Structure 1
Amino acid sequence: MPAAARSDSPRPPRRRYSLALATAFGLAATSLGLWASDSAAAPAVPTPDHVVVVVFENHGYGQVMGNSGAPYINSLAAGGASLTASYAETHPSQPNYYALFSGDTQGVTDDSCVEPGFSDEANLASELMANGKTWASYNESLPAEGSTTCSSGKYRQKHNPWFGFDNVPTSTAHTFGAFPRDYATLPTVSFVVPNMCSDMHDCSVGTGDTWLKNNLKGYADWAKTHNSLLLITFDEDNRLSGNRIPTVLYGQQVKAGATSATTYNHYDVLRTLETMHGLPHAGNAANAKDITGIWNN
């Protein structure tokens, strides 16, 4: 901006003075506008270096949150954040996984196995890879790397929506045994899907809670000091809670002990993951909202 006029400078005629004053106010307003614009442009969500999403099965909010049988998940909520009005989209399980992953149920209405690669629609993985980011899934009891089998032992394809997309390489679907021990080598975003017992579908809440602690506590502790995030959610409730589900977030950028009573759903979770990494928004995520109010920034 131009230097201020010297105090001994001749005072301009009234009209020129008024014009100068108006110009000064205009510049100030412009500066304030730019400042406001920059503030509005500030990211509503952080950009974690790594995000790990874990999806459990078929339990309502009250079955897990505040339940002494799930001490580890509740400890993560105490040290992180809990969404107290988080909802799934529908029933049964499989359409919810597609909604969470791609912003649309992709015409899936039941838990039947799908034809691998039946859809070419955009999804979280395809967006990440198209934008120079990395993606992987880690699937407990998957019989082999990249296997598109319908079921095997305690493994079920219905919990793995990435196999439904021809724009997601099957080579990015790993057994859970491939989950990195060096967490710095994790992809930008990854999903962890426990098997039918570990995910609380066939076994107890306590079983799933213990599995989470035994297998992902190391990552959770690391995420707290390495700009990373652990997000735990459920596919659907037990059909007795209006599809209200637990969703817990834990990591360095999450306010410890935060809660949000804002209503969120799977599309909002997907949108938030996309926004974190500057991605386009797939399907219904385009009309969803980012998760806010729980971050340190």
Structure 2
Amino acid sequence: MLRLPRLSLAAIGAAITLVTAAGISSASPGSGASAPVPPGAIKHVLVIDLENEDYASSFGPDSPATYLNEVLVPQGQLLTNYYATGHFSTDNYLAQISGQAPNTVSGNDCITNPTTLASTYTDVTPGTPNPDQAKYPGQVDGSGCVYPSAVQTIGNQLDALPRAQNSSGMAWRQYAEDMGNDPARDYGTPDPLGGTDCAHPAADGTFPNKATTTDQYAIRHVPFLFFHSVTDNASYCAQHVVPSGTVTAGPQGDVFTGHLAADLAQERTTPAFAMVTPNTCNDGHDATCVGTNAEGTHAGGLVGADLWLKHWMPLILNSPAYRHGQMLVVVTFDEASTSDTSACCNEQPGPDSANPGYPPLATAFGILPAPTGPGQYPGGGRVGAVLLNSKWITPGSTNATPYNHYSALRSYEDLLGITTGGSDGKGHLGFAGQPGLAAFGADVFTKPKP
């Protein structure tokens, strides 16, 4: 267990400059292409995805996310033109670790029954490389949710690097809140710290999309479980895809148990790449939670997500890797509301879906009319992101350079020393290797060298 004192909201001033730009359809020619920090300066990247909010709702003057805006934004840089790449959730998570574009099944949250919202854990078929790799870099043909073993993730890339480059005992880890709270529902193998590891159904099995009072785990928000390159080796998957743990408020501060707190306690056990997935109450997906949030109430949405950040971010920002300036922390949202299908950065559709921002169920649910042509719904909307690093990012800065989930993956690969392979031969997977795509550069890492 690890105990941390709570941070005082009053001790940190709030200073937010909002930039309300319309969706931008091409990449910025600005400083995103320049070398951001010395090689090896950033040894760890930790990504937190919250759910389903437009930029104005999350970061605007009426946002209920007070901890996000009054504590985290003043400590980091606010990306005011950061965009999701698709709708619904699953495809956005896949994009951030593999560069794969939405297909008509992954872009539909793998839902095969619109009435029950049950989803099917089905392979992408045929799953073969598209013959026009110049147009569709790194993309495979077909629809489905589980990618063939030849399709790599950033985790597989990091495993291929020498351990010295990884600079940690674990190259990567996915932390999923509530995973295995109900093993019969979630599947997986027992974890010694509680819950289950690598929790996914058998091939063509169904997985639930609705939370229960005691289990608010959602596999659709845990992207590493949708790749045979991870799941085909059961022990490998169980080592890397684990429950995040719990937090309990106490008179002396929060008490943490589980893998995330244990791993962050030392630099040598902090993964080079980590994705942290709160449950569907704490990530803001559920407006009213059937279970409870981080403070024991049923408030979800931005209120619930903000409470989760209030309790877990001090653990992360007090970790040795972060305090020593070696960790980049990214807090963002998987997608905007479904009605916002704007895009940036010259986002291209994949070979299976000409409208990345259109999930087929959107018409059945009365959200969007069916597209009448390609490019009508180009992306997942403007969501914004907060980037935090104690050494290289100027606190309280804002940045209007357009970025998206593919840009972010490209940035993580560059920062962590992945320089070969990928769809461009330079270490960038899928659409992260799209020609002309900018990675986080000197516009992000603006703080003078210490």
Length-normalised TM-score, structure 2: 0.54
> Residue 176 of structure 1 is aligned with which of 241, 244, 263?
244
Spell out, residue by residue over 1:112-154, the C-alpha distance to the aligned partner (whole angstroms, 9 max, x if none): 2434753221221111111133000000111011211434731
> Residue 259 of structure 1 is aligned with which of 398, 409, 429?
398
Give the secondary structure class of the aligned counterpart of 1:191: strand
Letter in 1 for 2:121: V
Spell out, residue by residue over 1:74-113, the C-alpha distance to the aligned partner (whole angstroms, 9 max, x if none): 2211111011001111111111111111011363221124
> Per-residue deviation at 1:55?
0.6
Question: What is the alpha-carbon distance in structure 2 between the residues aligned to residue 64 and residue 275 of structure 1?
Answer: 28
> 1:193-232 residue pairs with structure 2 within 5 A?
193-202=277-286, 203-222=300-319, 223-232=322-331
Deviates more, 1:252-261 or 1:195-204: 252-261
Question: Could you say which residue in structure 2 is the equivalent of 1:139?
Answer: 176
> Per residue, is there more helix in 1 or in 2?
1
> Per-residue deviation at 1:187?
0.5
Question: What is the alpha-carbon distance in structure 1 between the residues aligned to residue 101 and residue 68 of structure 2?
Answer: 28
Letter in 1 for 2:81: A
Consecutive unaligned residues of structure 1, counting only runs of 5 or more, are 1-40
Shift in CA distance, 42/68, structure 1 to aligned 2, threshold 3 Å: closer
Give the secondary structure class of the aligned counterpart of 2:72: helix
Q: State the aligned residue count.
A: 257
Length-normalised TM-score, structure 1: 0.80
Question: What is the alpha-carbon distance in structure 2 between the residues aligned to residue 88 and residue 57 of structure 1?
Answer: 11
Question: Could you say which residue in structure 1 is the equivalent of 2:57?
Answer: 63
Question: What is the alpha-carbon distance in structure 1 between the residues aligned to residue 323 and residue 382 of structure 2?
Answer: 27
2:35 is the alignment partner of 1:43: yes
Give the secondary structure class of the aligned counterpart of 1:289: coil
Large movers: runs of 4+ above 4 Å: none
Question: What is the alpha-carbon distance in structure 2 between the residues aligned to residue 105 and residue 90 of structure 1?
Answer: 8
CA contact (8 A) 2:330 2:388 kept: yes
Q: Larger Rg: 1 or 2?
A: 1
CA contact (8 A) 1:106 1:119 kept: no
Question: Could you say which residue in structure 1 is the equivalent of 2:158?
Answer: 128
Question: Could you say which residue in structure 1 is the equivalent of 2:68?
Answer: 73
Question: Could you say which residue in structure 2 is the equivalent of 1:21?
Answer: none
> Per-residue deviation at 1:216?
2.5
Question: What is the alpha-carbon distance in structure 2 between the residues aligned to residue 191 and residue 209 of structure 1?
Answer: 18
Give the secondary structure class of the aligned counterpart of 2:78: strand
Question: Could you say which residue in structure 2 is the equivalent of 1:285?
Answer: 432
> Per-residue deviation at 1:225?
3.6
Give the secondary structure class of the aligned counterpart of 1:239: coil
Question: What is the alpha-carbon distance in structure 1 between the residues aligned to residue 266 and residue 275 of structure 2?
Answer: 14
Spell out, residue by residue over 1:14-38, the C-alpha distance to the aligned partner (whole angstroms, 9 max, x if none): xxxxxxxxxxxxxxxxxxxxxxxxx
Give the secondary structure class of the aligned counterpart of 1:109: helix
Shift in CA distance, 57/231, structure 1 to aligned 2, threshold 3 Å: same
> Residue 121 of structure 2 is aligned with which of 103, 111, 114?
114
> Per-residue deviation at 1:68?
4.7
Question: What is the alpha-carbon distance in structure 2 between the residues aligned to residue 210 and residue 138 of structure 1?
Answer: 18
Deviates more, 1:101-110 or 1:278-287: 101-110
Question: What is the alpha-carbon distance in structure 1 between the residues aligned to residue 428 and residue 266 of structure 2?
Answer: 27
Question: What is the alpha-carbon distance in structure 2 between the residues aligned to residue 224 and residue 68 of structure 1?
Answer: 28
CA contact (8 A) 2:76 2:393 kept: yes
Shift in CA distance, 87/106, structure 1 to aligned 2, threshold 3 Å: closer
Question: Could you say which residue in structure 2 is the equivalent of 1:246?
Answer: 384
> Per-residue deviation at 1:180?
3.0
Spell out, residue by residue over 1:167-194, the C-alpha distance to the aligned partner (whole angstroms, 9 max, x if none): 2242210001121331422101100001
CA contact (8 A) 1:83 1:261 kept: yes
Give the secondary structure class of the aligned counterpart of 2:310: helix
Question: Could you say which residue in structure 2 is the equivalent of 1:294?
Answer: 444
Consecutive unaligned residues of structure 2, counting only runs of 5 or more, are 1-32, 111-119, 124-145, 181-195, 202-206, 231-235, 246-258, 287-299, 343-380, 419-426
CA contact (8 A) 1:45 1:275 kept: no
Identity %: 29
CA contact (8 A) 1:119 1:164 kept: no
